Chains A and B, each alone.
Chain A
Amino acid sequence: MGVLRRNLTAYGFLCAALFCFTVFAWYPMVREFVLSFQRTDLINPPEWVGLANFQGAVQDPAFWEAWLNTVEFTFLALVCGYAVPFVVALVLNELRHARAYLRFVVYLPVMLPPIVAVLLFRWFYDPGPGLFNQLLDLAGLPPLAWLDSSSTALISLVLVATWMNMGSATLIYLAALQNIPPELYEAAELDGAGIFRRIRHVTIPQTRLILLLMLMLQIVATMQVFIEPYMLTGGGPENATVTVAYLMYQFAFSQMNYGQAGALGMMLMLVLLVFAALQLRWTREDPA
């Protein structure tokens, strides 16, 4: 087969994908950049406005709160969504019974459409007949305001997010744990290492790569949090749950300021790219 012909054939197979990627993945990235320097209402021709959108975004009353909340949400979500699944996976890996059942139920919430989890928890959080306050009452504890207080609203969102997402992280860790060669544990045991030293010196180094990869994936995933504040709190109370993604949505669809939303999106993209670059460096430096 001639080189030209082979290339033609190959591009024939590729053209549909190239079309999809060009128009719906690559072009939007460029468009984001362009959009952030324009004022557009989607009807009249766009107008170049320089850095006005960035200025407008930074000057928005909720701008800094949104970033703080996003960082806080990401941090809390990492504590819950990153460490907890690892510990859970460690324990699951030691168990010899009910494994299929446990794996099934931990992944069950991941299968549900997010709206189901979110609306279900909205009911649980109800300060009156909601399940959570009723359980607290049963335990003789005072009720919490959950979504209705600026001090507990964000953590309540983290709780929903963790519940509906932790299954996939748990199963990925579990698979990584099962790939650790047993000889390593035997050798560590011969050296007299106890359980915690075995975890520190065998388990963690052996799963280091996956741990790092998951760290990045989770940071990127949680920094985009949207549906939870959108459905549960509307950004309140007192802006305690306004996140960057939520603010972006507000700019675009409540204030009809697509350019300013694009500018905020650019900022979020830059932050996430910095994370990705850092991550890449750590993984590269990793001797393993």
Chain B
Amino acid sequence: MTSVAATRPKRGRARTPKPIHVQFRTIVSPHQLNSRWGRRIYWLVLAAVVVTFSLAFVFPLYWMVTGAMKTPEEVAQVPPTLVPAQPTLAPFFEAWELFDIGTLLANTVYYALGAWVFCMCVDVAAAYALSKLRPAFGNVILGAMLATLMIPPMVILIPLYVTIVDLGLLNNPWGLWFPAAANGFNIFLLKRFFDSIPRELIEAAQIDGAGPLRVLWSVVLPVSRPILGVVSIFTIVTAFKDFVLPLLVMTDSEKMTISVGLSQTAGAVTQNQVMGGLVIAAVPMIIVFFVFQRHIMAGLTAGSIKG
């Protein structure tokens, strides 16, 4: 598994003509790349890619933010203005009020953090048991847990929902937290990491008289920080983004998540207010991305490369 930071090429500060520094070999050879035409094409492609990516992925967000700073009339204006004529923050406040975003956001954060705490407790304990305590039928259990990954969530949505109704968990956060903890992928990632912890480390602790819980707490968890970080981030982000299950389970307007709340009210307010609501809903995740970018990108490849 390649760490993202390690592969970042260092920029060569050389004399003209500045050669393009190549740290690792790819399809195009360094020789080709640094030929006269190679360099020209390279810079052309680079410029094209940077411009295209900015237009495709950043401009829509710019449009969203500026859309929320226009008046309803300006938003509906044809042709549209690139920059708001009289930028105003009013739509954000209106959206906050109309969508009741304070409640929605607090709910969503509460559900996401709750899911995280519960998931970590349940999944770490299970992965530890499967990896280090190796009970009878452990492999069968692991297999059955991984098998749930083959069943797409949408397919079992209806029976899962019916089950939640039967248990009386509608409008109850546990209706989201229990299903969130039944996450085979988390257990798979954690178990694989725990497997790689050397036996000696654990045996040394056991000789000191540590029970299984002590071993987990003071040996396994401290060395597992990277994977715990990855699993944590993904659990929180998934819970925050989830739409369909909260749509069905959290129907009370006092208990809705922000995604569901936005979807229900977006039809009844003006376009600039909708955009204001979207910006507010997007900000927490963008902040998380800024802060935990490396964890997230490492986590993306953690499961798939060797899997």
On A, residues with C-beta under 8 Å from B are 6-7, 9-14, 16-18, 20-21, 23-29, 31-32, 35, 40, 42, 90-109, 111-116, 119-120, 123-124, 128-129, 131, 134, 137-138, 163, 168, 171-172, 175-179, 182, 185-186, 189, 195, 198-199, 202-203, 210, 213-214, 220-221, 223-224, 226-227, 231, 245, 248, 252-253, 258, 261-262, 265, 268-269, 272-273, 276
Q: B134 near A172 (CB under 8 angstroms)?
A: no
B260 to chain A, nearest CB (A): 8
B154 to chain A, nearest CB (A): 4
Q: A111 near B286 (CB under 8 angstroms)?
A: yes
* Cβ of B259 under 8 Å from chain A: yes
Q: A102 near B50 (CB under 8 angstroms)?
A: yes
Q: What does DSSP make chain A's interface, helix, strand, loop or mixed?
A: helix
8 Å CB contact of A13 from B24, B212, B263, B289: B212
Q: B76 near A129 (CB under 8 angstroms)?
A: yes
Annotate B207-239 by CB proximity to A: 1 below 8 A, 0 otherwise: 000001000000000000000000000000100
Whether A115 touches B259, Cβ cut-off 8 Å, given contacts A7-B135, A31-B159, A213-B307, is yes
Annotate B146-168 by CB proximity to A: 1 below 8 A, 0 otherwise: 00101111111111111101010
A184 and B279 CA atoms in complex are apart in Å by: 47
Residues of B in contact (CB 8 Å), total: 107
Q: A29 near B159 (CB under 8 angstroms)?
A: yes
A83 and B229 CA atoms in complex are apart in Å by: 31
* Cβ of B35 under 8 Å from chain A: no
* Cβ of B22 under 8 Å from chain A: yes
Q: A131 near B80 (CB under 8 angstroms)?
A: yes
Residues of A within 8 A of B145 (CB): 17, 21, 25
Q: Which of B257-282 contact A (CB under 8 A)?
A: 258-260, 262-263, 266, 271, 274-275, 278, 281-282
A114 and B266 CA atoms in complex are apart in Å by: 14
8 Å CB contact of A111 from B63, B77, B125, B288: B288
